[in-house]
Amino acid sequence: MSTVALCRHPDRARAEALSDEVTAWLAARGHATTGDAEGADLLVSVGGDGTMLRAVAQAAPHGTPVLGINVGQLGYLTEVDPSHWQDALLRWEEGRSPVVERMLLSVRLEREGDPDLYEEPDDAPPALDDGHYLALNEAVVEKTPIGRMVRLAVHLDDAVFATYAADGMIVATPTGSTAYALSARGPILDPAHRALVLAPVAPHMVFDRPLVLTPETRVRLVVSGERPATVAIDGRSVGELHVGDALVVTAAATSARLVTSGESNFHEILKAKFGLEDR
């Protein structure tokens, strides 16, 4: 008997109904279900990519693999179609499902002159015991909703690289290169790679190109202008940075573990999502 954790979209009726079906199916086969990823043999995410990101944040610190059932729209991360969830769980149960590892970011907020973090919003992603956050897609520093552009001093491996005047700055993983970083005209990276993507959002300067950095790079974004900036990790608000405060991003020591069918590949997914037909 295995223990399976479930994470579902909180507001979609289809996700709730499907979660109930999955729970009943697992119980009938002798498996226990729980809401806690710690100690679980598998975490099943029922929702869209946003739900999958929350599931990975819960599972990654414990090394728990995640299987995503897509009841959302885009489905870059949630590979399993709702009509095939039983087949996917059978393959996992029989040990026939490959588990791939994806690079994660380790993210920390630094307050100038004070190691304490800002008070976090209620819906902020969970922080680890040492105050770091894990991100599968990206960490973003950008202007406040009512603000104009921000000035961000970018430090790479503790050396000043450049100060950007922009609407924001994205630090993304290869997995996240097809998310927010893509909309900022960042490069598309195969998610099997290990690298950091540094992509400015609407930069007001001549040098406006995204950078692809080694996974060993330590990226530090310091608010250097007069305006504050907001921070989001995998699309969820973490807090606000003021002048002198910083966001520090490195590759995480742990990885996300995603259960796959082994039947699809990144290039085929990319073609399907962008409607790239053969001519």
Name the residues annotated as catalytic.
49
Q: List the structure tokens of 144.
A: 């406040």
Q: How far apart are CA 217 and CA 194, in angstroms?
A: 11
Check if the beta carbon of residue 179 is closer than 8 Å to that of residue 188. no
- Name the pairing type of β-strands 99-110 and 246-259: antiparallel
- Name the pairing type of β-strands 150-156 and 219-223: antiparallel
Q: Which amino acid is it at 23?
A: T
* Extended beta strands in 65-223, E state: 66-70, 99-110, 133-135, 138-143, 150-156, 159-166, 168-172, 196-201, 211-213, 219-223
